[in-house]
Structure 1
Amino acid sequence: MARGTGKYKVACPVCGKPLFTSATAEIDDICCPKCRTRYAVKVETGTLQIRENELQYSADE
């Protein structure tokens, strides 16, 4: 956490590419632009959770 700002810098755990900076966030689907890994991210005061998201989209016709 950066001192004085209260924000977290979230980076991809696979390739290290910075994803975003935030004090609080709950994102169900974010894709790393470098390695294309999908994540679900939850940032709250004092906690940061990031996990791989294996959502698959399909269209039923």
Structure 2
Amino acid sequence: MSVGDAEIAIADLTARVADRAKGLRLPAFAAETEAARTALDKVIALVSERSKALAAEAG
């Protein structure tokens, strides 16, 4: 695999991870609690930020 191909693959992977993170949902029993919602929001933000950072490093 060439460096260019690897960079394209990394960019694709990070974009997919960030996109999937937006779709994370809590199970019905946990969605009712504020703590669970806060934790989910933090996980989504963290995954999105890290994916963007990886994409920037690869690009």
User: Larger Cα Rg: Structure 1 or Structure 2?
Assistant: 2
Which category of TM-score, normalised to the shorter sequence, fits these structures?
A: under 0.3
So what's the TM-score if we normalise by structure 1?
0.25
Q: Which has the higher helix share?
A: 2
Q: Which has the higher strand share?
A: 1
Q: Work out which structure has the larger RCO, using CA pairs closer than 8 Å and 6 or more positions apart in sequence.
A: 2
